[in-house]
Amino acid sequence: PNEDCPVPILPLTSVKRDVEGRIDEMFSDGITHINYGLVWGWRVLSPDQPFTQGVPYDNREFSKAIVLMTDGENFYSNFSFGAYGFLFDGNLGTTNRFAAVRELNARTATVCSNIKEKGIIIYTITFQVSSFNVQDLMQKCATDPSKYFNSPDSNTLERTFRAIGRELSNLRIG
């Protein structure tokens, strides 16, 4: 089941070398289930199991933030084993690819709303994504429109991450 996502998630850490090492292990391959990645990001920030490094949600000394980047749209096919099994298993309530993608988009929107209700800041980035549907979904997922970034190329992506880093640093200092 982890064939397309073989790099385990890294619990919260302040060891930059560990974070960079884990990033270096990652690669882009397979299918996209945006909501699934977003849920795991939320779990890492949560003070609850399966990760317990996160501070309580009401701790005013800390700001929690997720930076969600996607290079594609939610996708499902009969030939790909994803987080919900195979499409023909019907685990999303359908075996129709287009209906499954609509369900994945709806689940992504729900997860975004639930995370924001917990006071977590969401930054979203679309990288080389031409789909207006995905761009719209990510813009609505962001905490506010200023936290959505469309990055059509690597230079823009680098500037985007620097801008987010500056904003997060200001939150921490403030």
pLDDT of the residue at 156: 95
pLDDT at 157 over 90: yes
Per-residue model confidence as pLDDT tens digits over 9-35 = 889 988 999 999 998 988 776 678 899
pLDDT of the residue at 172: 60
pLDDT at 173 over 60: no
Per-residue model confidence as pLDDT tens digits over 65-99 = 999 999 888 888 878 777 888 899 999 999 999 99
Q: What sign for the dihedral angle of Cα 113, 1, 81, 134?
A: positive
Give this prediction's pTM: 0.90
C-alpha 27/C-alpha 111 separation (Å) is 24
Q: How far is CA 24 from CA 4, 7, 18, 127, 157, in A?
A: 16, 10, 10, 18, 17
pLDDT of the residue at 171: 67
Angle at 122 between CA 116 and CA 33, to 5 degrees: 95
Give the confidence band of 155 by pLDDT, cuts at 50, 70, 90: very high
C-alpha 142/C-alpha 92 separation (Å) is 24
Give the confidence band of 55 by pLDDT, cuts at 50, 70, 90: very high
Query: Average per-residue pLDDT in the chain?
Result: 90
pLDDT at 4 over 70: no
pLDDT of the residue at 1: 54
pLDDT at 124 over 80: yes
% the chain with pLDDT above 70? 94
pLDDT of the residue at 27: 76
